[in-house]
Chains A and B, each alone.
Chain A
Amino acid sequence: MRAYLTYLSKRLVQFAVVVFVGINITYLVTHMTPIDPVEQSISAATSFGSTSPEAIEMMRQSLRQLYGLEGSPWEQYVSFWKRILVGDFGPSLSAFPTPVSQLILRALPWTVGLLLVSTLLTWFLGNLLGGLAGYYRNSRVLRAFGVISMALKPIPYYVVALVLLIIFGFLWPVLPISGGATMASDRSNTFAFALDVAVHSILPVLSLMAVGIGGWFMGMRSLVSNVVTEDYVIYAELAGVKRNRILGSYVIRNALGPQVTGLALQLGAIFNGAIITEYVFGYPGVGSLLISAVHAGDYSLVLGITTISIVAVSATVLLIDLLYPLIDPRVEAR
């Protein structure tokens, strides 16, 4: 237990350092970008309208004051950390004065919903089918699935997404191709709204599964192929234990460890959003928000999203590291 507590404290310090360094790097990168949020705002506000150079100069000064960009870099950095420590990311510079947290909270449920479902489904199906394929090596259906998933894996994601769009949006238009829900749908009717959201998520989820399932499938198939040659599996087969039981209780279970770690890392990365998926399918999630923030030079919003992502990924890794010695006795807490 003492060893475990030492391990725990070391990992907590590591976690804090990773988060601190990660946020600082993001802060530096966003503040070194040549995109100036004030110029972006001015351009968006004036590019189509009547304007005068003198007025633009006045507007420039007003916006610098309004956005709080007037202090020295050190003052800005200190004020950033003061705010971050109390969970305040400040106002968005591209949707001023709305707080960044409000924008993220609006987008986050969509991204988490979409990616949680697609990640879990992909993981579950990929591992299940990979496990079956590794064990039932003569099954034609599973071999065909292996070929298809391997063929899909190297295809760039956006190509798969566009093909799905064309098939289900145009050639056989049975699925919605854009947005998270139907226009003006009644959100107070929870069941109908949930069903509507589910239907709108079919294509994005399918596209993510199409390119993601192959990795899990192949990984699990390889792991199972190794496990089935273990003595205890051969012994179980010779002892007449049912094949389904051998597969579920001895083979897949023992092969699952690395896949669980992979899953945990992917779940942590959910908070990054799926940028291309959200762009192609017009999904109102964090990925779309991040892209628009980058284009607008809105570093408050970029920092807000990346900070949440850094904390989420680091926390998941920490959690897995802490749980592993408890789950798998072969892993020692040293």
Chain B
Amino acid sequence: MRILRLLTLASGLALAATTAMSQTTVPGVPRNETIILENPEGTIKNPGWFNIWTINAGGQWTGLHQLALDTLWYIDPERGLEGAWQNSLAAEKPIYNEDFTEMTVKLRPGIYWSDGVEFTPDDLIYTVETQIKNRGMRWSALLALNVESVSSPEPWTVRFKLKRQNSRFHSLFTVRFNGIWMMPKHVFEKAADPQKFDFNPPVSLGAYKLHSYDPDGKWYVWQKRDDWQRTTLGRYGEPGPKYAAYIDPGPPDKRVIAQLNHNLDVVHDVAPEGMFTLSKQSPSLKTWFKNFPFAHPDPTLPSVIFNMQNPAFQNRDVRWALALLIDAKAVSMASYRGAATLSPIGIPPTGTHPDDYHIPLQDWLASYEIDTGKSKIKPYDPNIGNQIADMLRPTMKEQIPTDPAEIRKAFGYGWWKPNPQAAAELLEKAGYTKRGNAWYTPDGKLFSIKLMVEGDSRPILTRAGTMIVQQWRQFGIDAKTEVAQGTMLDRRNAGDFETLISWSVETYGGHPDLSYFLDSWHSQFVAAPGKTQSPRNWQRWSNPELDKIIEEVRRISFDDKRTVELGREYAKLIVREMPIIPLMAYNVFTAMDETYWTGYPTAEDPYANPVPNWGNSRSMMVRLKPKQQ
């Protein structure tokens, strides 16, 4: 009994002794000078590796590509600090010759690496030539395919001679999420093999330099450079936080706990339920949308992707029938608990895209007609957003916006009305028959569909897929979900699926040009059945009309007004052909805590993308101000 008493006493003492030690901060660094952000890469296996030019050798979103590296241009998926386009190391926009076989870059002088060496054209040339020479490096293939030669014909000017016409060559050096980062020539040229060099400690070109990192890969702390004015971010003012810590806070529940304890200023993403908890319990919470749906819509478009090489989905009427069986309201509730921003067209409803595409196409969408064989229907419903808002109002009350413009921004500009009658007519038109409660294919087999979902690692899209399968089953289709878990990427790339919930559309968000994903949809890149498909045409769709659009995009410049017209033609083609059923933006529930910092980007002040693993999230630093002086 004495032993028991001793044990109880010892554990009580141990617990009491730890009370003062439970706060997660950097020793010696004042908490109110530090912003703590989530790194969704988690624990870095190889924490001392900073050579980002090798393929996945170490962490990338540890603050390294956000705060320490730089390249020629940035495009913000939102409005940006001074417009979505940002000349960074380049002093002006790319200059192409007439046939897009040469690109000239005027570089910005007066930018310095953190070791005091000036950034010069030599660094850019070295970056390009080193990667072409070493074929196992991250951007080797892209550069080797495109660059004939690179030189500096005059001071602060670099000229690329291209192997072939490429009007979007600059996009390789333009950060949407990332880009080809500049290598410090004076550091790398001393390394015996640039592919085996760890670049530790990294020499920084950004406004922050490495302060310290966890040898076990859990956290990285970056410190504002004394000479931050000599970086490209310097012209926007002094970055607020003196220190920025990128940490692995663990699973979603712990992220919520950490933010409620004010130990994590920016959560990259949590489940919708986690965000609802934070909105109820954290008075210092700041989110992209002030109220529901809170999340930042990424310029990425989760969709139902048909494997177009599968004979079952080669009939447009069948694809449309399946789309008309989807009740987007139910999918929104099942996936994002209502916090989804829907899109009926193949372009995400985020950034400047609604102004360029969704709003101008409203009339066309409203008048769009489908001939089911027995009747003509207008499938578009511009009021779905309102209906979702009405559904949510009883539970979320004043958190649901009432202004129609805000509702459209939050919940999307409409989607297709569920119409089982029209779906049945379309299937009959395609030769399908219904016997009893089940549908049969034209050759008399049970109409079966497998919808592949990722499973636990992507719960929101898995829930969306499960709901869609339920809706198809209710109609009499033998639909099933297939949970791919870790094999998702391999099966998607191999075309080993019938339908799949994922995305093949990713855009700049802040710029109307769609070539970022659209170029890879050209039929020249579609793999034969059984062969590996390269990104991003996972639907393996070939279409001559689409090819024409892409070929015209290739012939015109990035900023040509015709890109918007061509983008709209693409959007209409997707509606007509439905090779994917676009669902909604990929909403990221980034939660920001105002206990220590204010000035986060929001939908009201969209000066940057708040999602902290994006390269362009660096813009946030110059607008953040300390709350506690």
Q: Which chain A residues have a beta carbon within 8 Å of chain B's beta carbons?
A: 34-36, 39-41, 43-60, 62-63, 65-66, 92, 94-98, 103, 106-107, 110, 125, 128-129, 132, 139, 141, 162, 165-166, 169-170, 173-180, 182-187, 196, 199, 202, 279-282, 284, 288-289, 292, 294-295, 297
Q: Does the CB pair A176–B21 fall under 8 Å? A: yes
Q: How far is it, in angstroms, between the C-alpha of A41 and the C-alpha of B174 when the chains are bound?
A: 22
Give the interface segment out of B52-60, B101-109, B375-383: B52-60
Give the interface segment out of B182-190, B242-250, B399-407: B242-250
Q: Does the CB pair B54–A184 fall under 8 Å? A: no
Give min CB distance, B503 to chain A, whole Å: 10
Q: How far is it, in angstroms, between the C-alpha of A40 and the C-alpha of B489 when the chains are bound?
A: 7
Given A178-B248, A183-B27; 17 other pairs, CB 8 A cutoff: A39-B490, A40-B489, A46-B535, A47-B535, A51-B520, A59-B141, A60-B532, A62-B140, A166-B257, A169-B254, A170-B257, A179-B219, A183-B221, A183-B245, A280-B254, A284-B218, A292-B43
* 23 CB < 8 A contacts A-B: A39-B532, A43-B493, A48-B177, A50-B142, A50-B516, A54-B141, A59-B140, A92-B46, A94-B45, A95-B46, A95-B58, A98-B46, A165-B253, A165-B257, A174-B22, A177-B254, A178-B254, A180-B218, A182-B25, A183-B26, A184-B26, A185-B27, A202-B14
The yes or no answer to B274 lying at the interface (CB within 8 A) is: no
Q: Does the CB pair B216–A284 fall under 8 Å? A: yes
For A183, give its contact among B18, B145, B214 (CB under 8 Å). Answer: B214
Q: Does the CB pair A106–B216 fall under 8 Å? A: yes
Report A-chain residues with C-beta under 8 Å of the C-beta of B520: 51-53
Question: Closest chain A residue to B15 by CB distance?
Answer: A174
Q: How far is it, in angstroms, between the C-alpha of A96 and the C-alpha of B136 when the chains are bound?
A: 11
Question: Closest chain B residue to A58 by CB distance?
Answer: B141
Report A-chain residues with C-beta under 8 Å of the C-beta of B3: 128, 132
Q: Does the CB pair B217–A35 fall under 8 Å? A: no
3 smallest CB-CB distances across A and B, nearest first, come from: A53-B534, A284-B216, A48-B177
Give min CB distance, A164 to chain B, whole Å: 12
Q: Does the CB pair A279–B21 fall under 8 Å? A: no
Q: Does the CB pair A174–B19 fall under 8 Å? A: yes
Q: How far is it, in angstroms, between the C-alpha of A132 and the C-alpha of B5 when the chains are bound?
A: 14
Q: Does the CB pair A280–B534 fall under 8 Å? A: no
Give min CB distance, B70 to chain A, whole Å: 16
Q: When A128-B3, A282-B43 are in contact, do A177 and B257 touch as well, CB less than 8 Å? A: yes
Question: Closest chain A residue to B172 by CB distance?
Answer: A50
The yes or no answer to B171 lying at the interface (CB within 8 A) is: yes
The yes or no answer to B397 lying at the interface (CB within 8 A) is: no
Report A-chain residues with C-beta under 8 Å of the C-beta of B27: 182-186
Q: Does the CB pair B46–A282 fall under 8 Å? A: no
The yes or no answer to B178 lying at the interface (CB within 8 A) is: yes
Q: Does the CB pair A95–B26 fall under 8 Å? A: no
Q: Does the CB pair A41–B55 fall under 8 Å? A: yes
Q: Does the CB pair A52–B142 fall under 8 Å? A: yes
Q: Does the CB pair A103–B1 fall under 8 Å? A: no
Q: When A94-B45, A169-B257, A184-B212 are in contact, do A56 and B145 touch as well, CB less than 8 Å? A: no
Report A-chain residues with C-beta under 8 Å of the C-beta of B506: 48
Give min CB distance, B15 to chain A, whole Å: 6
For B56, give its contact among A53, A56, A95, A166 (CB under 8 Å). Answer: A95
The yes or no answer to B360 lying at the interface (CB within 8 A) is: no
Q: Does the CB pair B25–A183 fall under 8 Å? A: yes
Chain B residues 23 to 38 lying within 8 A of chain A, measured CB to CB, are: 24-29
Q: Does the CB pair A183–B179 fall under 8 Å? A: no
The yes or no answer to B155 lying at the interface (CB within 8 A) is: no
For B138, give its contact among A45, A54, A107, A170 (CB under 8 Å). Answer: A45
Report A-chain residues with C-beta under 8 Å of the C-beta of B42: 292
Q: Which chain B residues have a beta carbon within 8 Å of chain A's beta carbons?
A: 1, 3-4, 7, 14-15, 17-19, 21-22, 24-29, 42-43, 45-46, 49, 54-58, 135-136, 138, 140-142, 144-145, 171-172, 174, 176-179, 195-196, 211-212, 214-219, 221, 245, 247-251, 253-254, 257-258, 260-261, 457, 486-487, 489-491, 493, 506, 516, 519-520, 525, 532, 534-535, 537
Q: How far is it, in angstroms, between the C-alpha of A21 and the C-alpha of B1 when the chains are bound?
A: 49
For A97, give its contact among B171, B195, B214 (CB under 8 Å). Answer: B195
Report A-chain residues with C-beta under 8 Å of the C-beta of B489: 35, 39-40, 43
Q: How far is it, in angstroms, between the C-alpha of A50 and the C-alpha of B260 when the chains are bound?
A: 37
Question: Closest chain A residue to B134 by CB distance?
Answer: A62
Q: Select the residue from A51, A65, A94, A182 with max chain B CB neighbours within 10 A.
A: A51
Q: When A62-B140, A66-B136 are in contact, do A178 and B24 touch as well, CB less than 8 Å? A: yes
Q: Select the residue from B3, B15, B43, B257 with max chain A CB neighbours within 10 A.
A: B43
Q: When A59-B141, A125-B7, A183-B25 are in contact, do A282 and B261 touch as well, CB less than 8 Å? A: no
Report B-chain residues with C-beta under 8 Å of the C-beta of A165: 253-254, 257
For B24, give its contact among A47, A170, A183 (CB under 8 Å). Answer: A183
Q: Does the CB pair B251–A280 fall under 8 Å? A: yes
For B141, give its contact among A44, A55, A92, A129 (CB under 8 Å). Answer: A55
Q: Does the CB pair B22–A35 fall under 8 Å? A: no
Report B-chain residues with C-beta under 8 Å of the C-beta of A97: 54, 57, 195-196
Q: Does the CB pair B136–A103 fall under 8 Å? A: no
Q: Does the CB pair A141–B4 fall under 8 Å? A: yes
Q: Does the CB pair A294–B486 fall under 8 Å? A: yes
Q: Does the CB pair B45–A92 fall under 8 Å? A: yes
